[in-house]
């Protein structure tokens, strides 16, 4: 498979905020060592014009998406032994795409279209769907999470800069609901268990902000501080574990973690990155992060 570029289309929404980090160069994908540590940065090549998105549907499987120079969405994957070439998934998209998996061999991707609506394309295990419009008017790229099979929660900034939410319950799409806040750029979202969602965004103060669903209601927005210059990315490798990434004022990628009882400080993971990073976990104590480098290639750094 070959290239990259992404599809245009998206819908009405509003958001809040936070700030930190960016990528550079070194290493390749693997797992398990007796002492967990961060790899260096590895260059996966290609030419992307946005930050990437990533999902995983099984152990040691990674699917990465980005917008190509033709503004189509492009796809590159790790099958456990090697990286594929880039393949075009067509479309004309604006900004970063988003991706999630809710089961084996299933991927759902989302993007903002040139009409500012939300668009959706999915892999069913044997083939890619076409692009479908989910309407709305959004002014950022989307974020997506899943807390069970056939469940999708999508987030984006609306024309009022609040964060907006739309979900799939297994049989139909909801309308859009406002979650308030005033956010800058793309939000991020992850689920670490049934009926749990954690969302993050950069605020107008360039700090990192957090809002979560506990199964019955949404929290308010809480500031996690820092100074970030990109939208955040988030992953979770176990219940009540969160790892958040963003570009700092030095354009390095920075990391902040929740261990179940408290937040860490910010740590620099180095590199020089452009725009939003992406992150996913495919197993306990494993994190894979991706970013666009200053050479417009895709870069990869992992924790194992």
Instruction: State the pLDDT at residue 53.
Output: 99
CB 185 within 8 A of CB 230: yes
Q: Does the pLDDT at position 25 exceed 50?
A: no
How many residues are listed for the chain in this entry? 304
Neighbours of 1 (CB within 10 A): 12
- In this predicted model, which residue has the larger pLDDT, 4 or 41? 41
- In this predicted model, which residue has the larger pLDDT, 6 or 302? 302
Q: Does the pLDDT at position 235 exceed 50?
A: yes
Q: Specify the long-range contacts of residues 215-220, CB closer than 8 Å, at least 24 apart.
A: 218/179
Domain boundaries, the chain: 136-303
Q: Does the pLDDT at position 152 exceed 70?
A: yes
Pairwise CA distance, residues 283 & 303, whole Å: 11
Where do the DSSP E strands lie in 143-285? 143-145, 152-157, 163-168, 177-178, 183-190, 197-203, 208-213, 222-225, 233-235, 242-247, 253-258, 267-268, 273-283
**N-to-C CA span, the chain:** 28
Pairwise CA distance, residues 238 & 256, whole Å: 16
Instruction: State the pLDDT at residue 218.
Output: 99
Pairwise CA distance, residues 131 & 113, whole Å: 10
CATH of domain 136-303: 2.120.10.70
């Amino acid at each position: 498979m070959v290239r990259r570029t992404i599809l245009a289309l998206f819908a009405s929404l509003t958001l809040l905020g936070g700030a930190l980090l960016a990528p550079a160069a070194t290493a390749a994908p693997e797992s398990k060592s007796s002492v967990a540590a961060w790899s260096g940065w590895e260059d996966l090549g290609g030419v992307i014009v946005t930050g990437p998105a990533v999902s995983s549907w099984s152990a040691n499987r990674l699917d990465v998406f980005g917008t190509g120079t033709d503004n189509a969405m492009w796809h590159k994957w790790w099958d456990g032994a090697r990286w594929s070439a880039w393949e075009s998934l067509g479309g004309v998209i604006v900004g970063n795409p988003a991706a999630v998996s809710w089961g084996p061999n299933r991927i759902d991707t989302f993007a903002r279209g040139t009409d500012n609506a939300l668009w959706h394309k999915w892999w069913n295990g044997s083939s890619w769907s076409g692009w479908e419009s989910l309407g709305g008017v959004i002014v950022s790229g989307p974020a997506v999470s899943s807390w069970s099979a056939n469940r999708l929660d999508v987030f984006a900034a609306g024309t009022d800069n609040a964060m907006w939410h739309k979900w799939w319950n297994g049989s139909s799409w909801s309308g859009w609901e406002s979650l308030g806040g005033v956010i800058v750029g793309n939000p991020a979202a992850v689920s670490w268990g049934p009926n749990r969602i954690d969302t993050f965004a950069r605020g107008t103060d360039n700090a990192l902000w957090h809002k979560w669903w506990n199964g019955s209601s949404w929290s308010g927005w809480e500031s996690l501080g820092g100074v970030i210059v990109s939208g955040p990315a988030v992953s979770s490798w176990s219940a009540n574990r969160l790892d958040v990434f963003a570009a700092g004022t030095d354009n390095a990628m920075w990391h902040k973690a929740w261990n179940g009882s408290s937040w860490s400080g910010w740590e620099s993971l180095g590199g020089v990155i452009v725009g939003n990073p992406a992150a996913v976990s495919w197993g306990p104590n494993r994190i894979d992060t991706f970013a666009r480098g200053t050479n417009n290639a895709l870069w990869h750094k992992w924790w194992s």
